[in-house]
Structure 1
Amino acid sequence: MSSRAIYYARRLWWPICAIAALILLRGCAYALLNGDRVNARQASTIEAGIQDLRQLRFKQPVPLVVKTPDEAESMMEADLMRDYTDNQLEADAVAGALTGLYPAGLDLKAASLKLLKSQVAGFYDPHGKEMVLVEGGGDLGIWNSAAQFMIQRDVVGEMLLAHELTHALQDQNFDLESSLDKVKDDDDRTLALKSVAEGDATIAGFAYAVGRMDDSTADALANNLKQLPQALAAEAPNTPEGLSVPLLFQYSDGVRFVAEAYRRGGWPAVDALYRNPPQSSHQILHPALYFDRPAPPSRIEVAGYDRIMNGWNKVDDDTYGELLLRVILERNLGKQSNEVGLASRWIADRMIILQQSRGVNVIWMLVFDNAHTASHFAVIYETLLDRLLGDSTPHRIDARSNAVLVVIGEGADYFETLAPAIWSASTIETAGVTARIQPSDGSLIQ
């Protein structure tokens, strides 16, 4: 399951390009939609054009429908809650606060819906196989700020529709929803796949609006997207970084990653990303680890806690990945801290979230690329948790070889029993080799 609600709405494709289009294209009116009516002629032109530009074909028609803001919000909430309960979202919010990802007391469901609603102007719905445009989408504050950049064509609306129709092409040609279902228990892999999809759609939508696709177009897009964080901060102030950063990552870093594939082989190389998708935000952030030095992803199976944590129920089992580890370090140490660089040494992590009437317990195992980094991270993170949690919440950390075990909550009170049990039973798979860590000396047992 997912531990961040921004990922829960994994099936509806949210157009943060409402922001991106204004930054990139300096567009004006939203002429595609007038009240509750779609400009069908213009929409048909865009539908034909995006197929030619993206070199993919629709296998079936994509209806365009108009929804009121309230109807669109109901669709968002329904998608958010399709696989998860309010209790799970609440437990995940507490776990995020305990680890330093979120501020304490965050209503994860409400904050996610607020962020999405503030920017949505349209989306592709793979359940209904339709493109949804939202009444009044052109009146969002960030859209209005574009009025000073008046030009002749409705490039904002064109980019929006071309972007979302590219998602429909992805759905029909690559069965993207099935791929997302396969990684639904790993947010970091979900983020990597969605970064491919959003990067692809953003490049295609932008290229359609400016009338060409080449390496210089992709480069211009990537450079302009650097302004996205400031734009979102202005339009959705006080959004927790644990929500805003992964959302923007799909577009900014997704564009850079997909642009690299395009430079290496055009649209066929982009298509190949869906057949062999990147496995982590680590690969998106460091494209050479996908394109030049690919390696099987590391996997962690956390076990051995069941008997000792008897009576606690597992409500989540997930991966934060390099990106959210970096968010945690930046939130709590400052973006200029040298220790933020520790996140780039990440190679795997797995988090178990347990719940009981007495609260939430987090068991988190992380693996780094060397033992020195793991040991250093353990020291830094323990100091971070001491400052964040104080004496109010028990927490313990242990480093063995290149792995770190973090326990936050009641389990930390009997860490001397719990930690050896977890080390002995858990497995770390790297390059196809599965190993356990010997608790006594930290050596790897294959």
Structure 2
Amino acid sequence: MNSRAIIFGRRLWWPACAVAALIILRGCAYSLVNGDHVNSQQAAKIETGIQTVRQLRFKQSVPLTIKTPNEAEAMMEADLMRDYTDQQLEADAVAGSLTGLYPAGLDLKAASLKLLKSQVAGFYDPHGKEMVLVEGGADLGIWNSAAQFIIQRDVVGEMLLAHELTHALQDQNFGLETSLDKVKDDDDRGLALKSVAEGDATIAGFAYAAGRMDDSTADALADNLKQLPQALATEAPDTPEGLSAPLVFQYSDGVRFVAEAYRRGGWPAVDALYGRPPQSSHQILHPELYFDSTASGPRIELAGYDGVMSGWKKADDDTYGELLLRVILERNLGKQSNEVGLAARWVADRMIILQESRGVNVIWMLAFSDLQTASHFAVVYETLLDRLLGDSTPHRIDTRSNAVLVVIGQGADYFDTLAPAIWNASTIETGGVSARIEPSATSADQ
């Protein structure tokens, strides 16, 4: 799993992040929790109410506990380390800096936990099957600076608990933890599924607090959540975009995607998302690709590097997706650059991170919607890497048809041998059919 999704761990933590509180009235009190005590009568009322709003039923009770920020952070760290070693996290951080996703020298583990501790007000723990609220959650920056919206009563704690109880309903009715395990080696698919879960929970929690659920409620919520990126940037200004963008995405774009499902068929249509989940951030960003098509998205099988890169150990493999590709282009070219639009022509990618005593090597293959876009991206990205890495780190790029091969690190020194081996062994699978990536008349070594 690559670094961008570390903010949630490989398994679904389903945090109720403070950024989602933009929909709540400024100055609300966290009346559901008083110190380390929960208003059990009020909690029971919310548990009953969210089942009515969400049209799902609990199969078993969900314990509610209060944790201090330090205790919550320890739980998050333990979850993270169930699936990673410190060495893996370090390799992912280096790979992120080499590709332009992160600043150089980032302590990925520390940065992820810092962001969570500063912004997460509660979460559903699928391991312990319990609800966790964090002491002082209402005092987090964005809770305090939340904007005036359509809720006119003291419901911050109520909405938070309704949001988290919706995650428990998802877990009990749709087996989300199992679904996430199935896509654990593809964080972009995991991000898409988490966006469904967060969009669903945010809409349901808000609907409970607002006292109604209809298309206009979902639309108003989606419109208001456009403020999230700016709000998080204000409250956590030092957070790398590679961490903040996926966090915000799950709420803002997740709500927009789930709202589209609700418009098309109410809660049953939302339920159906878990049986056939979106496969990429690309589908979340462009909902028509999911709702108006049943075709499976292309997948890249990246191979052929083993024999050439003998002695190097695979530290990780994953997919960046449109969202993270867009972050890379925005970070390095500027948000207003016309080249940022290349990310929207993404159709698939796969990255292999290799580690050895000499450092980290990145092998990254991307596919775009057409040959011209692939060729354009290759030129743009080579220029970006030249400026980012200079002569300090070898890097090479090649294209075949609509695919681009990027090698960063020592492998670029023997690219003329490595690239043909990768092209000849790799495939792009579309609709269950795998095909080799054939050269085109305009393919050339960049």
- Contact 1:27–1:147 at 8 Å: present in 2 too? no
Q: What is the correspondence of 1:154-303 to structure 2 with a 5 Å cutoff? A: 154-303=154-303
Aligned position for 2:95: 95
For structure 1, the 5+ residue unaligned runs are none
Q: Secondary structure at the match of 1:163?
A: helix
Distance 2:166 2:356 in 1: 44
Aligned position for 2:7: 6
**CA distance change for structure 1 residues 282 and 147 in 2, over 3 Å: closer, same or farther?**
closer
**Alpha-carbon distance, 1:439 to partner:** 5.4
Number of corresponding residues: 442
**CA distance change for structure 1 residues 22 and 341 in 2, over 3 Å: closer, same or farther?**
closer
Q: Secondary structure at the match of 2:308?
A: coil
Aligned position for 1:126: 126
**Alpha-carbon distance, 1:152 to partner:** 6.6
Cα deviation digits, residues 126-179 of structure 1 (max 9, x gap): 111111111122222322335999987321111100000000000000000000
Aligned position for 1:40: 40
- Contact 1:2–1:184 at 8 Å: present in 2 too? no
Aligned position for 1:391: 391
Letter in 2 for 1:418: L
Cα deviation digits, residues 49-68 of structure 1 (max 9, x gap): 00000000000000111111
Distance 2:339 2:51 in 1: 46
Distance 2:142 2:379 in 1: 43
Aligned position for 1:331: 331
| Farther off after superposition, 167-176 or 68-77 | 68-77
Aligned position for 2:374: 374
Q: Secondary structure at the match of 2:143?
A: helix
**CA distance change for structure 1 residues 351 and 397 in 2, over 3 Å: closer, same or farther?**
same
**Alpha-carbon distance, 1:234 to partner:** 1.4
Distance 1:148 1:301 in 2: 48
- Contact 1:95–1:362 at 8 Å: present in 2 too? yes
TM-score by length of 1: 0.96
- Contact 2:138–2:156 at 8 Å: present in 1 too? no
**Alpha-carbon distance, 1:229 to partner:** 1.0
Letter in 2 for 1:145: S
Distance 2:420 2:14 in 1: 43
- Contact 1:27–1:155 at 8 Å: present in 2 too? no
Cα deviation digits, residues 307-340 of structure 1 (max 9, x gap): 1100000010100001100100111111111111
Distance 1:148 1:101 in 2: 34
Aligned position for 1:420: 420
**CA distance change for structure 1 residues 242 and 376 in 2, over 3 Å: closer, same or farther?**
same
Superposition CA RMSD, Å: 1.7
TM-score by length of 2: 0.96
**CA distance change for structure 1 residues 138 and 341 in 2, over 3 Å: closer, same or farther?**
same
Aligned position for 2:71: 71
**Alpha-carbon distance, 1:237 to partner:** 1.1
Distance 2:297 2:146 in 1: 43
Cα deviation digits, residues 206-263 of structure 1 (max 9, x gap): 1110100000000100010011111111111111000000110000000000000000
**Alpha-carbon distance, 1:6 to partner:** 2.1
**CA distance change for structure 1 residues 118 and 399 in 2, over 3 Å: closer, same or farther?**
same
- Contact 2:195–2:250 at 8 Å: present in 1 too? yes
Cα deviation digits, residues 35-78 of structure 1 (max 9, x gap): 10001111111100000000000000001111111111100100
